[in-house]
Amino acid sequence: MVRQATSENHQEIIKLVNARKIYQMGTEQVKALAGVNITFNKGSFWAIMGPSGSGKSTMMNILGCLDRLTSGSYYLDGKDVSRLDDDSLSEFRLRYLGFIFQSFNLIPQLTVQRNIELPLYYLGWDARESAERAKELAEKVGLADRVGHRPTELSGGQMQRVAIARALANDPHVIFADEPTGNLDSTTGEQILELLMKLNEAGKTIIIVTHEPDIAKHAHSRLHMLDGQIDRIEGNSK
Amino acid sequence: MRQTRIARNIWLGIENLLLHKLRSFLTMLGVVFGVGSVVAMLSVGEGASKEALEQIRKLGSNNIIVSSRKSAEEEATSTQRSHMSVYGLTYEDYRRIASSFSNIQQTAPVKLTRKDSRLRERKMELRIVGTTPDWFKLVPREILAGRVILKSDQEKQAPVTVLTEFGARKILATESTIGQTIRVGSDQFEVIGIVKSESGQAGNIQIPDQEIDAYIPIEVARRYFGDIFTKRTSGGDESEMVELHQVIVQVDDPKKVEAVAAGIERMLQQFHKKQDYTVSVPLALLKQAEAMKRRFNIVLGSIAGISLLVGGIGIMNIMLASVTERTREIGIRRAIGAKRRQIVFQFLIETVVLSTIGGLIGLGVGTLIPFLITYFSGMITLITWKGILVPLLISMTIGILFGLYPAVHAAKVDPIVALRHE
């Protein structure tokens, strides 16, 4: 299976084949994903959209290796990750993925620098090298003068920049952004989006989950979900 | 590399604990007191057993002490006027004991009287111990000056005496010691030596020597003072005739002490109509005393153990609360790629750091307590390496034991749920 997968197109970074995710809610079965087939290419910029309950969060969790499919397959960079155990999924998250959340999800007791260093800590980098990298990344997101501050001393936009820097620390293949501008005013949101677009131009694959069309329009392609299935796809899937 | 990583993890743990200084400190207190009480308890226990060993040495671990005692019947009749009580060990008993048992190494007879002794105007009552040179082998004490009684003194029935340190100080004061003549009762004795005394109680066992002893050859004691002692009481004179007050027996093998003691008891039974003697075995009494101390230590240890347990539960409680409080942090770490065991490790390190620091502080408190105990009660306490390492290891173990559940609990957190946690 792995060999078959690796023989496929090098442009593909993410591929779902007949992906199903079924939750048992009491006696009822909820089909959060009801047989999804889709391929995302390297360097693409996607927005996953849909009303609440459409399965877009489940989609995000599956793609982000935070959850496993009930059936079907998920190929990440050509490797089938749908049957991996918890440790291996953690390893994939650590090496391939970066996350940005609506509520920033910075660790409040750690400084900006320590927050950015977090993935490097788990990658086993030594303290000096990770400090250097964290400072570089802070500079990249425009927060070079804030590395010693704690998240609570920052504005929402600044916190999200820290989160982006942290998501970049492990040089991920794919960056997932779950409503990244949801807690920000429109101007700051715009700046964050610009930052993401710049990252995309630099070659990162970016997948945003949002229900706001204004945000989604910045993406190259839009995937509309409805009742656990793909409703439609807009834009050019580069 | 590996080592620095562990050091870094520990440092991160300390940083996290420092965020809630008061909480960490209060959490630690349980372990502090637990370890403190264990250390104190161990030091008291060690001190007690050291004391016991010291007493065995003083008493002579192979010794049997046979003492004269007024029998119960005698006690009842002795209130009558001009009655003379005759009881106790005889010279014949001494001879028989010394010659009948092959396991007996040496024996010393002891004849006791109390006499006023004086050197010019200085006067004090001494306990005159009539004995043989064997005494000094059975009750080995440091010779401070001169020499002890020798066989030749015995043969010559020389009026010589060996004083103990305390008595010598009182009587001789600053005068040159050896060769000085003192008056004992109405007789003159030449001081030939001074020994140290180690009087004191060993539980309920009287140590054979006292600090006001004056040792003289037994033949001299018998000839000068006789076997009859008269005591002036309000009801008139009370006389008693006792040939020997004690016979101290040394057995060659500690394992045979009790058997020989039983043998002596049987033999004395044959020749004495009344129970006017007691046979005491210091070793057996010490064994009893030690068994009691051991039980005492177990009780103390259990109490200290309970306080450690309570400390551990306190840690577990706080860590569980901390895990709930930090659910979101755990979710973030997991989303970033931390494995379950890394989360376990993170929380475990925090508890172990907490309990180890608590243990170290407890060690400080625990080493202070024995000093206070010794200062206020005079009880001997002893802090050994074992007494320090064991509680420290226990506190670390408690950290691991009681930290494991909260840590595993933390690692079980589902990152998806945790990230939504407020």
Residue of A nearest to B334 (CA): A90
Q: Confirm if A71 and A20 have CB atoms less than 8 A apart.
A: yes
| A4 pLDDT higher than 80 | no
Residue B112 counted as domain residue: yes
How far apart CA B317 and CA B403 sit, in angstroms, is 9
Stretch among B19-28, B169-178, B348-357, B412-421 having the lowest mean pLDDT = B169-178
β-bridge mates for residue B112, sequence order: B129
What's the mean pLDDT when you consider all of chain B?
84
* Residue A153 confidence (pLDDT): 95
* Residue B289 confidence (pLDDT): 75
Q: Are residues B69 and B193 in the same domain?
A: yes
Amino acid at B248: I
* Residue B199 confidence (pLDDT): 61
Which carries the bigger pLDDT value, residue B333 or residue B286?
B333
Burial of A68 (C-beta count, 10 Å sphere; 0-12/13-18/19+): middle
pLDDT tens digits for A167-201?
Answer: 999 999 999 999 999 899 999 999 999 999 999 99
Residue A24 counted as domain residue: no
Span B361-378, average pLDDT: 87
* Residue A157 confidence (pLDDT): 93
Domain count, chain B: 2
* Residue B201 confidence (pLDDT): 46
Which of B16, B329, B416 has its CB closest to that of A61? B416
pLDDT tens digits for B30-48?
Answer: 889 888 888 888 888 888 7
Span B378-396, average pLDDT: 84
Residue A1 counted as domain residue: no
Structure tokens at B15: 């940083």
Residues of B within 8 A of A108 (CB-CB) are: 329
Which of B4, B337, B419 has its CB closest to that of A91? B337
Which of A67, A86, A105 has its CB closest to that of B332? A105
B9 falls in which pLDDT band (50, 70, 90)? confident
Q: Are residues B207 and B225 in the same domain?
A: yes
Domain count, chain A: 1
* Residue B42 confidence (pLDDT): 82
Residue B260 counted as domain residue: no
Residues of A within 8 A of B331 (CB-CB) are: 105
Residue B45 counted as domain residue: yes
Residue A139 counted as domain residue: yes
Span B302-307, average pLDDT: 85
Residue B374 counted as domain residue: yes
Residue A2 counted as domain residue: no
| A6 pLDDT higher than 80 | no
Residue A148 counted as domain residue: yes
β-bridge mates for residue B232, sequence order: B237
Q: Are residues B153 and B228 in the same domain?
A: yes
Residue whose tokens read 């360097």: A43
Q: Are residues B86 and B49 in the same domain?
A: no
- Residue numbers of the domain that contains B148: 63-252
Q: Confirm if A81 and A173 have CB atoms less than 8 A apart.
A: no
| A99 pLDDT higher than 90 | yes
| B302 pLDDT higher than 70 | yes
Q: Are residues B9 and B137 in the same domain?
A: no
* Residue B175 confidence (pLDDT): 61
Q: Are residues B97 and B51 in the same domain?
A: no
Beta strand B104-119 pairing with B181-184: antiparallel
Residue B412 counted as domain residue: yes
- Residue numbers of the domain that contains A204: 42-68+85-235
| B78 pLDDT higher than 60 | no
Q: Are residues B52 and B67 in the same domain?
A: no
Q: Are A90 and B338 within 8 A, CB to CB?
A: yes
Alpha-carbon distance A61 to nearest alpha carbon in chain B (angstroms): 7
B2 falls in which pLDDT band (50, 70, 90)? low
How far apart CA A30 and CA A35 sit, in angstroms, is 13
* Residue B328 confidence (pLDDT): 92
Q: Are residues B331 and B416 in the same domain?
A: yes
The CATH code of the domain that includes A226 is: 3.40.50.300
Q: Which of B207, B226, B252 is the last residue of a domain?
A: B252
Residue B276 counted as domain residue: no
| B190 pLDDT higher than 80 | yes
Residue B359 counted as domain residue: yes
Residue B266 counted as domain residue: no
Q: Are residues B89 and B192 in the same domain?
A: yes
Q: Are A119 and B336 within 8 A, CB to CB?
A: yes
Q: Are residues B107 and B22 in the same domain?
A: no
How far apart CA B356 and CA A149 sit, in angstroms, is 31
Amino acid at A137: L
pLDDT tens digits for A53-76?
Answer: 898 989 999 999 999 999 999 999
Span B346-369, average pLDDT: 91
| A7 pLDDT higher than 50 | no
How far apart CA B232 and CA B239 sit, in angstroms, is 9
Residue A79 counted as domain residue: no
What's the mean pLDDT when you consider all of chain A?
90
